[in-house]
Amino acid sequence: MDIWTLLTVVTKVLIYLGTAGVIGGLFCLWLLKPHGLERPIQGYMFVAGLLGLAATAVSFPVYTGAAIGDGIAGAFDPDIAVILWQTNVGDSTRARLLGFILALAGVCLLRRGSGYLRYALIIAGAVSLLFSFTQTGHLHDDNRGTVLLVIHLLGVSLWLGSLYPLRRASDGHGIAQLQASMDRFGQTAVAFVGALVICGVLMTLILVQPLSGLIYSAYGWLLLIKLSLVSLLLALGAINKFYLVPRLTRPGHSQRLRTSISAEMALGVAILVMTALLTTAVGPE
């Protein structure tokens, strides 16, 4: 893996984290409202937005450098940059910059307590961010795949982006309140986790033809590793929903829940790294 591929993977992971933080944080403002965590969640969303904005700003010179392959100076070649800015890479970059800027503006208004405009800005930013992922990638020219990708990304963002706020909520002492919120999250998660799994399977069927490519290609092996990580994440989610949350009133189970959510967060980052590798270092054959 050369330096440009590595930098591309890093910036993609940071953009994924920023997108998940904005979308998942907005969801948790509603989900965890009884916990009085508005300020910490707003801070989380602000950091996620800044992280995503910075990563997006860095990603374009990285694409430029990768295109020209001429050392660090190549990242700032004006001629290549102008050409790339007019391609789908430029379209994606503009949509991401707009998305993170809108989200950050909305979060700033949230902290000032200013009307419904704040939520409209964040939602518009989230839509722009989701749209940005449809402008590049292996499914860019497939209408079916584009719809599946947006639904899949929305589900991933809602799930992974909610983990830190849920971990923060689990540090409190209101067990009954935490149990109610986790139950509400579990009920909602059935819908968006189910959607992301179904869409993920359908996208795999579109991308890997024939399915023997899962065994006989580098892309297939990386995809299998990602699917294994997703399976572990689903298993942890099931343990939380069906075992730990119903037993939260028992001694020690709130700590076990915090440990489980932390493990989910680590697995989530690993899955995003695998996703970045799949969309950068290798391609379906």
Please state the rounded mean pLDDT for residues 267-277.
94
pTM of the shown model: 0.93
Q: What is the pLDDT of residues 194-247, one digit of tens each?
A: 898 899 888 888 888 777 767 878 888 888 999 999 999 999 999 999 999 988
Which pLDDT value is given to residue 92?
94
> Residue 186 in 3-state DSSP?
helix
Which pLDDT value is given to residue 280?
85
pLDDT band for 26, please (50, 70, 90 cuts): very high
Distance CA 141, CA 276 (A): 19
Which pLDDT value is given to residue 127?
97
Query: In this predicted model, which residue has the larger pLDDT, 266 or 73?
Result: 266
Which pLDDT value is given to residue 173?
61
- Structure tokens of 211? 């399915």
Query: In this predicted model, which residue has the larger pLDDT, 153 or 115?
Result: 153
Instruction: Assess whether pLDDT exceeds 80 at residue 140.
Output: no
**Other Cβ atoms closer than 10 A to 195:** 17
Pick left, alpha or beta for residue 252 (phi over 0 → left; psi -120 to 50 → alpha; otherwise beta): left
Which pLDDT value is given to residue 269?
96
Decide if 278 contacts 222 (C-beta within 8 A).
yes
Which pLDDT value is given to residue 35?
85
Beta strands in 120-252 (DSSP E): none
24-37: string of b/e by CB count within 10 Å (b at 16+)?
A: bbbbbbebbeebeb
Distance CA 216, CA 203 (A): 18
Distance CA 33, CA 111 (A): 15
pLDDT band for 283, please (50, 70, 90 cuts): low
> Where do we find the tokens 């947006």?
150
Query: In this predicted model, which residue has the larger pLDDT, 184 or 208?
Result: 184
pLDDT band for 99, please (50, 70, 90 cuts): very high
Which pLDDT value is given to residue 5?
86
Please state the rounded mean pLDDT for residues 53-68.
89
Please state the rounded mean pLDDT for residues 241-262.
89
Average pLDDT, the chain: 88
pLDDT band for 20, please (50, 70, 90 cuts): very high
CA angle 113–119–122, rounded 5-degree value: 120
Instruction: Assess whether pLDDT exceeds 70 at residue 71.
Output: no
| Domains of the chain from N-terminus onward | 3-278 (1.20.1630)
CA angle 133–137–140, rounded 5-degree value: 80
Distance CA 59, CA 57 (A): 6
Instruction: Assess whether pLDDT exceeds 60 at residue 100.
Output: yes
